[in-house]
Amino acid sequence: MLERRLSVAAATPVAADRPALLLIAHGSRDPRHAATVAALAEEVRALRPGLELATAYLDHCAPRIPQVAGRLGAHAVAVPLLLNRAFHAKHDIPAALRAAGTELPVADVLGPVRPLVADAARAAGPLPGPSPLLLAALDRRLAEAGLAAASPGVRARTGVVLAAAGSSDPAADAATRALAAEWRRTRGWAAVEVAYASATGPRVPDAVAALRAAGADRVAVAPYLLAPGLLPDRIADAAAEAEADVLAGVLGAAPEIARLLLTRFDAALLATVERAPALTA
């Protein structure tokens, strides 16, 4: 249904220009970060041949947003390569786009987000569930690390540490906890504990100890991070210190993450088309 509506919209004068996706990553001094972002961009291109796609970074890496945003057409959408709607998504990306002299619509982050609604009661309700694609990417990385993640029996005996970066934004941490709860509920893990590599909150060794105390036969650590760097390395060191049984890789260029980026892009593009005056006149 979404694809059909987008194809209809593309035939209208509002969407006459070719849509483009501006992938915005945080950036890092670690060269593995940019290499991972480039690999993910190639996954997206493979899924959507012909889509104009450009990558820009908030910090550390080139090109920066002002170097790229102005070259894109009127129907470009910025898609943050972020898992939570915290400071970078709320402030840094909009500010960088304004500084570049553009008002590109910005898609949702990849993790669970609360929709912006006028109804305060709805806004205060539970967070929407995470995308099944995000949970599937986490499953994939655990399976690649040697855990039989497809086995219900293995899952029922395994406790998982969802190791996130951490944030000073309570809403971002709430979104991570909501994802952990949904991952446990839908996959049947013995338990899923959240730990953080920075900010406040439990660390990976604390979460591993809590899972063992709760009776988990095996403990796996799943980094809830998109690219290698300082924080994933810190999580790996902590997992080794705590003698976790399994350490998964970062989400990286998992095909599910590429599909999720396109899902966010399509939804933002459709919303832009539906808001256009030419469609409502």
SS (H, E, C) the chain: CHHHHHHHHHCCHHHCCCCEEEEEECCCCCHHHHHHHHHHHHHHHHHCCCCEEEEEECCCCCCEHHHHHHHCCCCEEEEECCCCCCHHHHHHHHHHHHHCCCCCCECCCCCCCCCCCCCHHHHCCCCCCCCHHHHHHHHHHHHHCCCCCCCHHHHHHEEEEEEECCCCCHHHHHHHHHHHHHHHHHHCCCEEEEEECCCCCCCHHHHHHHHHHCCCCEEEEEEECCCCCHHHHHHHHHHHHCCCCEECCCCCCCHHHHHHHHHHHHHHHHHHHHHCHHHHC
Asked if residue 174 has pLDDT above 80, the reply is yes
CA gap 92, 17 in Å, rounded: 27
Task: Enumerate the domain spans of the chain.
Answer: 2-113+255-280, 132-247
Tokens of 266: 């399509």
Asked if the domains 2-113+255-280 and 132-247 are classified in one and the same CATH topology, the answer is yes
CATH class of 132-247: alpha beta
Tokens of 17: 């220009």
**Cβ-Cβ contacts under 8 Å for 67 (sequence gap 6 or more):** 56
0.85 surpassed by pTM: yes
Asked if residue 134 has pLDDT above 50, the reply is yes
Among 61, 55, 54, 69, smallest CA distance to 27 is for: 61
Among 110, 252, 112, smallest CA distance to 176 is for: 112
Look up residue 171 and give its amino acid.
A
Asked if residue 31 has pLDDT above 80, the reply is yes
Average pLDDT over residues 30-51: 97
pLDDT value at residue 276: 60
Assigned fold of 2-113+255-280: Rossmann fold (3.40.50)
CA gap 212, 242 in Å, rounded: 11
Distances in Å between the Cα of 64 and the Cα atoms of 99, 159, 240 are 11, 40, 36
Tokens of 253: 């260029």
Task: Give pLDDT tens digits for 77-123.
Answer: 999 999 988 787 888 899 899 888 888 999 999 998 755 444 444 44
pLDDT band at 203 (very low <50, low <70, confident <90, very high): very high
**Cβ-Cβ contacts under 8 Å for 272 (sequence gap 6 or more):** 75, 77, 105
Task: Give pLDDT tens digits for 217-267.
Answer: 999 999 999 999 999 999 999 999 999 999 999 999 999 999 999 999 999
pLDDT band at 188 (very low <50, low <70, confident <90, very high): very high
Asked if residue 131 has pLDDT above 70, the reply is yes
